[in-house]
């Protein structure tokens, strides 16, 4: 297992982690796909964009959003079509470099959202008690839609507290709310595809993220 280094952050107990330059009490979302150049970068940057749009806080109330790939192209730039899609949503694609998924990423994540069920299984197989906090993106969306927002802590108690409660509630529902088809929880890989297909994947990801960010923040998307 690769231990977290001092520059990325260290364990400081289950409920509090210390991260260089970040709030002590933070909530980390990790998006996972295969190469970390298409789906997970789009999802990462759309999540950041949506959080900033809802909350306006540069640190989004302590939420940190990252991504990595199970066969990540370490140091690679985002695919050009992915950048174009993000620009069309008004999201920032700058400064991105691909990463290979490491143990430390899973260890530090409070919520892991994967593009496919296979990615989810790969994350869970790494250990680190990841099963209860790892979902496909669309699976998590389906579960979140079934959660009554009134049962979550109010935002006044902190976004981190609300986010952790949301993950626990979603995990409790898993097994009760099954996907209608095996493909319903998948986001297909647009790598090498033309821009129109990238756009369709971007729309799919954005649609799946909207109820998740609304549940996290308690703030709906602007009309």
pLDDT tens for residues 57-83? 655 678 999 999 999 889 999 999 999
Q: Give yes or no for a contact between 143 and 170, defined as CB atoms under 8 angstroms apart.
A: yes
pLDDT tens profile 75-120: 999 999 999 999 999 999 999 999 999 999 999 999 999 999 999 9
Strand arrangement of the beta sheet that strand 27-33 belongs to: 63-69, 27-33, 111-114, 134-136
pLDDT tens profile 132-181: 999 999 999 999 999 999 999 998 898 999 999 999 999 999 888 777 88
> Can you give the pLDDT at residue 56?
82
- List the structure tokens of 195: 């821009």
- List the structure tokens of 36: 């970390």
Measured CA distances, 201 to 38, 196, 197, 206 (Å): 10, 9, 6, 8
> Can you give the pLDDT at residue 179?
76
Measured CA distances, 114 to 20, 65, 133, 140, 187 (Å): 26, 13, 11, 10, 9
């Amino acid at each position: 297992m690769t231990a977290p280094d001092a520059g990325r952050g260290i364990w400081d107990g289950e409920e509090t982690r210390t991260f260089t330059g970040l709030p002590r009490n933070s909530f980390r979302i990790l998006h996972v796909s295969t190469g970390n150049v298409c789906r997970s970068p789009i999802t990462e940057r759309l999540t950041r964009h949506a959080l900033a749009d809802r909350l306006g806080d540069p640190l989004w109330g302590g939420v940190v959003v990252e991504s990595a790939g199970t066969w990540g192209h370490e140091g690679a730039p985002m695919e050009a079509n992915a950048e174009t899609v993000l620009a069309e949503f008004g999201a920032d694609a700058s400064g991105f470099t691909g990463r290979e998924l490491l143990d430390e990423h899973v260890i530090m994540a409070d919520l892991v959202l994967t593009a496919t069920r296979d990615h989810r299984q790969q994350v869970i197989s790494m250990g680190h008690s990841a099963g209860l906090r790892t979902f496909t993106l669309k699976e998590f969306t389906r579960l979140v839609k079934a959660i009554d927002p009134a049962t979550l802590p109010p935002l006044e108690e902190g976004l981190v507290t609300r986010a952790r409660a949301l993950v626990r509630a979603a995990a409790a529902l898993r097994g009760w709310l099954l996907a209608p088809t095996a493909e319903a929880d998948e986001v297909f890989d647009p790598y090498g595809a033309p821009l129109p297909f990238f756009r369709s994947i971007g729309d799919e990801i954005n649609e799946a993220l909207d109820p998740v960010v609304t549940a996290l923040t308690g703030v709906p998307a602007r009309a």
